[in-house]
Amino acid sequence: MSKISEGLERAFASRGFAEPSVEDLRDAAGVSLRTLYKYTPSRAEMVLAALENRHQRYLTRVFDNLPNEPEKALDTILSRIGKWMETETSHGCLFHAAVAADPRSQPLRALLERHKAEVATRAAAAAGLSSADTAPLVIIEGLTQAWPLRGEAAVDAAKRLAHALRSLGA
C-alpha cells in the first residue's frame, strides 16, 4: 500500500487534484488498475491515501531528531519546513489544496484538522510552548503561505517571530 500511496502523493502534488486521470494515477502508483481500486476504491480514497502518506513523511522530515534545546528545536523546525517547501511543494499546503478542491468532504477536512493539530502540538512541545500550540501553528502556516512569494526570507521572518514568541514566554 505504501508504494501506491507514495505514487498517488507524487501525482497529486505535481498535477493537482483535478487534472490526473485514473490512468495517470494508476501509472504514478505503478500498479494495475485492479490493484489500485482494490486498495483505494474511489478517487476520494486515493486522495486520502496520498495525504496520509504525506502527513507521515512531513512529520518525519520536520520533527525527527530535533535538538533538545527548545530555541534550537524551533529554528530547526522552521528551517526544515523551508526545505520542505523548496523540495516538496513550492506552491503551498497540499492539505489545504485538497480541501479547496473538495470543500464538502468531511474526511478531507478531518484529515486537514488532524494534520495541523499534530503539527501544532509537536512544534509547541519541541519549542517548550506546550500550553500554547496555536501561536507556533500560526507562524508555521504563515511560513507555508509566504514561502512561494518570499522563499528563504519567509523562513528568516518566521524565525524572528518565533524568537519573539519565546521571549514573551507564550
What DSSP string runs through 54-90? HHHHHHHHHHTT--SSHHHHHHHHHHHHHHHHHHT-T
The grid coordinates listed for 124 are 509547541
Encode pLDDT of 105-147 as tens digits: 999 999 999 999 999 999 999 988 866 778 889 999 999 999 9
CB atoms within 10 A of CB 81: 23
The 10s digit of each residue's pLDDT in 64-107 is: 999 999 989 999 999 999 999 999 876 778 999 999 999 999 99
**Containing structural domain, residue 82:** 2-167
What pLDDT does 166 receive? 77
Q: Which residue has the cell 495517470?
A: 24
Report the Cα 106 to chain-centroid distance in Å.
18
Tally the domains of the chain: 1
The whole-number average pLDDT for the span 146-170 is 88
Whole-number Å distance between alpha carbons of 122 and 128 = 10
Is the pTM of the predicted complex or chain greater than 0.85?
A: yes
Tens-place pLDDT, residues 11-68? 999 999 999 999 999 999 999 999 999 999 999 999 999 999 999 999 999 999 999 9
Nearest-CA neighbor of 110 among 47, 60, 29, 57?
A: 47
CATH code for position 106: 1.10.357.10
